[in-house]
Structure 1
Amino acid sequence: MKEGPDIARIGTLIGDPARANMLTALMGGQALTATELAQAAGVTLQTASSHLSKLEDGGLIAQRKQGRHRYFTLADAAAGTLLENIMGFAASRGHLRHRPGPKDPALRKARVCYDHLAGDYGVRMLDSFVRRGALRTDGENLAMTEAGRTELNRIGIDIASLASNRRPLCKSCLDWSERRSHLAGTLGKALLSHFLEKGWARRSGESRAVLFTPEGERKFLALFPAD
């Protein structure tokens, strides 16, 4: 018997089409019911319950109870990062599922990746931070600079409280649609929350898309100008 991590088990769990659709639905960062996930997967509620049990046993999702209702989320940020990396790898190899429609441009422009901003705007934000010296990059590793701390505190992001979190402050996450990295970590989460709380953008009720208002888009583009 071979020793070491059992990647075959994780691959089998993610590789089932119905379970893959469920996990993709949970990439929006919201807690969903078994009924909602059954609809996302295109299976019956009984079949969905079986899939969810396997995903929970495999450590990919977690269950929350509120009264008589049960909700499911991704287990943690590591599960979200794993899925986004797999999406990026699949896209880079040409393994794409394409459903033409109005959602496609919105998802590619700005969307939620577990708890941070992805898509064109997510990549643009990271590039802008690196270009003006707020973040220092060494390959896939990111580090906050003093200039970055000053800038983010001015924006209204409390770096001291974020740095005390057990999760990384800032890390890169491969973007499946842009094929480049966007900003993840507690900083990425805080910035997305900041945009939503300020009313610059809102979550779409139909997909993972993040929809900016005209004024919010103007402020975002001014804060993160293109090269």
Structure 2
Amino acid sequence: YVRIADAATARLVDELASYAVPDRDGAHSVPVVAAPDPLARARTCYDHFAGRLGMAVTDAMGRRGLLRTEGVFELTEDGRAWCAAAGVALTGHGRRPPASSCLDWTERRRHLGGLAGARLCARALEEQWVVRPAGGGRGLEVTAAGERAFEDLLGITPEAWR
């Protein structure tokens, strides 16, 4: 067993691992890791969205031209403007990049991390667009308010993460 020293080291290991997966951005027909359905549907990965919800957010931002996902993840100028309009602050937090990729262990694709991913997740928790189930942990449940918010902000519907 090993322990990762800190969050920055964990992000570095995840980023490096994402490059070890052949065709890392292609969809895989068989998940590499079987996860209980609620965790596969929506959860946190460190401090940002993961699972099908995380992929839906990442894909929607890419389709709308808010996020470049080829190679290194990067917010576009439109993406930075979208973050500001959506109440996702990109200031502070030291040298953390505005956007980074993180390999999703159930979907086997990269999802949005970095400051934008963390602050969007924090806003969703504050606004109760997502809530943690009674037992706590990393799982998330999207509320009715969250369904409306994700559709209004990114054009994604519950079918994208269910």
Same fold (TM over 0.5): yes
Q: Quote how far apart the aligned CAs of 1:78 are.
A: 2.6
Structure 1 residue 202, shift from structure 2 partner: 1.5
Aligned to 1:126: 58
Counterpart contact for 2:89–2:116, Cα < 8 Å: no
The gaps in structure 1 that reach 5 residues or longer are 1-12, 15-54, 62-74
Q: Partner amino acid for 1:173?
A: C
Note if 1:111 corresponds to 2:111.
Answer: no
Aligned equivalents of 1:179 and 1:218: distance in 2?
Answer: 27
2:100 aligned partner: 171
2:75 aligns with one of 106, 121, 144: 144
How large is the RMSD of aligned CA atoms in angstroms? 2.9
Distance (whole Å) between structure 2 residues aligned to residue 119 and residue 81 of structure 1 = 20
Q: Could you say which residue in structure 2 is the equivalent of 1:182?
A: 111
Matched, 1:217 2:147: yes
More helix by share: 1
For 1:182 and 1:118, locate their aligned partners in 2 and report how far apart those are by CA, in whole Å.
7
**Cα distance between partner residues in 2 of 1:122 and 1:210:** 11
Per the alignment, do residues 132 and 95 of structure 1 end up closer, same or farther by CA in structure 2, a change over 3 Å counting? closer
Residue pair 1:84, 1:113 contacting (<8 A) in 2 also: no
Name the structure 2 match of 1:49: none
Structure 1, residues 101-132: CA drift from partner, whole Å, max 9, x if none? xxx22111110101111011101111111111
Match of residue 200 from structure 1: 129
Q: Which has the larger radius of gyration?
A: 1
Secondary structure, counterpart of 2:59 in structure 1 = helix
Q: Secondary structure at the match of 2:69?
A: strand
Is the CA contact (8 Å cut-off) linking 1:117 and 1:192 kept in structure 2? yes
Q: Greater relative contact order: 1 or 2 (C-alpha under 8 angstroms, separation 6 or more)?
A: 2
Instruction: State the Cα distance separating 1:171 from its structure 2 match.
Output: 0.9
Alignment partner of 1:223: what SS? Answer: helix
TM-score (norm 1): 0.56
In the other structure, the counterpart of 1:52 is none
What is the aligned-residue identity percentage?
36
Query: SS of the residue aligned with 2:131?
Result: strand
Letter in 2 for 1:156: G
Answering whether residue 5 of structure 2 is matched by residue 77 of structure 1, we say no
Q: How many residues align?
A: 148
Aligned AA for 1:124?
A
User: Could you say what secondary structure the match of 2:49 adopts?
Assistant: strand
Q: Which runs of 5+ in 2 are unaligned?
A: 22-27
Check whether the contact 1:174–1:182 (CA below 8 A) recurs between aligned residues: yes
Structure 1 position 172, deviation (Å)? 1.1
Compute the TM-score of the two structures, normalised by the length of structure 2: 0.76
Tell me the alpha carbon deviations over residues 39-97 of structure 1, each in whole angstroms, 9 at most, x when there is no partner. Answer: xxxxxxxxxxxxxxxx3xxxx24xxxxxxxxxxxxx213325636976996xx89764x
User: In structure 1, how many angstroms separate the alpha carbons of the residues matched to 2:16 and 2:53?
Assistant: 18
User: Which residue of structure 1 aligns with residue 24 of structure 2?
Assistant: none
The separation in 2 between residues aligned to 1:132 and 1:79, in whole angstroms, is 29
Instruction: Judging by fraction of residues, say which structure has more strand.
Output: 1
